[in-house]
């Protein structure tokens, strides 16, 4: 999953809310990788989405009245594939 | 939520898989509105996300080996707001 | 294209900025359909993306210091397909 | 910008098309960072979007009849901010 949580109504600086979200993901024991426009998360469906819900709850609890989040989520049943596999399959051919 | 499910590895015509997904959403009793690049869904977090998971399961069961989905999800704790409210708040000012 | 423009740093009510954006799209003569989580736009690549840029400029000009936008954009070279075709191909099978 | 290009109708393995896209971005001289669910790109609006168009053209030219792309794009007029700034502003608070 690629997760990008955007709190609305808290001004222009969002990093402290993103930090809140990152803490939730770490506490959930999920494998994550922060990049400049979101966080890539690897894991089983229920755990990953439970963490996304916990992020929204934490960001609201920190004071954000409104949140808009963009998620890309990929599943496949043909074979296992990690975050590293996906990046390597491209980098190996560059 | 705005949901856009894209099955991969099933050729260029995707509508029968989208139909599968729409059926899942209807069976879940959710309020939805289909548009040309996804489906807007209104409801409580757990019900909506349970339906998204059921969509992935149904699309895989129909034969898609891989799926990539784009989701926009909005929550707010300051006030209630329906799909119709959001559209009306813009159209009233046009 | 599905376009969702989110101004940041202007409080919790965003509709007046979305209205600004809708006006830009209309002025560009583009075929659009507003839904509860964005606007579907049909047209040629250059015209559509020029309008997206004009939206950002208009929303900044109206006072938003920061904007985050989510776009889904589809192109195909095998056949022509309108917004209505896409919706009909699903609804006909429901 | 976060860019995720998905060719449709070319089977289940997409990496060779993503490689095509990465080459286009490099040839454009853009600053990029590949992650497991897309590529983060930093640059001026016109150059970045010209490269996105060139990606679509290259992926179609390589044989993909249909493409669906998800883009997150952020602009701000209050201050300059690089990809590294965004990541650091979060990591410094973790």
Alpha-carbon distances of D3 from C37, C76, D18, D69, D80, rounded to whole Å: 20, 18, 11, 7, 21
Which of C70, B22, B40 shows the shortest CA–CA distance to D69? C70
Residues A9, C6: C-beta atoms closer than 8 Å: no
The CATH number linked to D49 is 3.30.70.930
Tens-digit pLDDT string for chain C (94 aa): 999 999 999 999 999 999 999 999 999 999 999 999 999 999 999 999 999 999 999 999 999 999 999 999 999 999 999 999 999 999 999 9
CB atoms under 10 Å from CB of A76, counted, come to: 16
Alpha-carbon distances of A30 from A27, B51, C72, rounded to whole Å: 8, 23, 27
pTM (two decimals): 0.98
Tell me the pLDDT tens digit for each residue of B2-52.
999 999 999 999 999 999 999 999 999 999 999 999 999 999 999 999 999
Tell me the pLDDT tens digit for each residue of B53-72.
999 999 999 999 999 999 99
Q: What are the backbone angles phi and psi of residue D86, rounded to the nearest 5°?
A: -65, -45
CA atoms within a 13 Å half-sphere pointing along the CA-CB vector of B5: 31
* Chains contacting chain B through 3 or more C-beta pairs under 8 A: A, C, D
Which of B85, D44, A15 shows the shortest CA–CA distance to C36? B85
Q: How far is residue C30's CA from residue D49's CA, in Å, rounded to a whole number?
A: 19
Which of D50, D32, D39 shows the shortest CA–CA distance to D4? D39
Residue that is written with structure tokens 């439970």 in the block = A50
Do residues D7 and D66 touch, judged by C-beta distance below 8 A?
Answer: yes
Q: How far is residue D4's CA from residue D52's CA, in Å, rounded to a whole number?
A: 10
Compare CB distances from D67 to C9, C53, C75 and report the shortest one's residue. C75
For A:44-63, CB contacts with B below 8 A are 45-46, 49, 53, 56, 60
CA atoms within a 13 Å half-sphere pointing along the CA-CB vector of A93: 15
Tell me the pLDDT tens digit for each residue of A17-31.
999 999 999 999 999
Question: In chain D, how many domains are there?
Answer: 1
Residues D11, B9: C-beta atoms closer than 8 Å: yes
**Separation in Å, CA of A83 to nearest CA in chain C:** 23
For residue C70, the enclosing domain spans: 2-91
Tens-digit pLDDT string for chain D (94 aa): 999 999 999 999 999 999 999 999 999 999 999 999 999 999 999 999 999 999 999 999 999 999 999 999 999 999 999 999 999 999 999 9
Establish if D23 touches chain A: CB-CB under 8 angstroms.
yes
Do residues B33 and B39 touch, judged by C-beta distance below 8 A?
Answer: yes
Token pair belonging to D12:
């289940």
Long-range contacts of D19-24 (CB under 8 A, 24+ apart): D19/A90, D19/A93, D19/A94, D20/D55, D20/D58, D20/D59, D20/D62, D21/D55, D21/D58, D21/D59, D22/A90, D22/A94, D23/A94, D23/D58, D24/D51, D24/D54, D24/D55, D24/D58
Establish if D94 touches chain A: CB-CB under 8 angstroms.
yes
Beta bridge partners of B73: A69
**Separation in Å, CA of C26 to nearest CA in chain D:** 21
What is the CA D35 to chain-centroid distance, rounded? Answer: 10
Token pair belonging to A62:
């920190």
């Amino acid at each position: 999953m690629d997760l990008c949580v955007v709190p609305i109504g808290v001004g222009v600086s969002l990093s402290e809310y993103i930090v809140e979200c990152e803490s939730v993901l770490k506490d959930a024991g999920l494998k994550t990788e922060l990049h400049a426009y979101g966080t890539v998360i690897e894991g089983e469906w229920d755990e990953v989405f439970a963490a996304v819900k916990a992020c929204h709850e934490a960001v609201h609890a920190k004071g954000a009245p409104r949140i808009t989040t963009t998620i890309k989520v990929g599943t496949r049943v043909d074979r296992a594939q990690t975050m590293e596999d996906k990046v390597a399959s491209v980098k190996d051919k560059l």
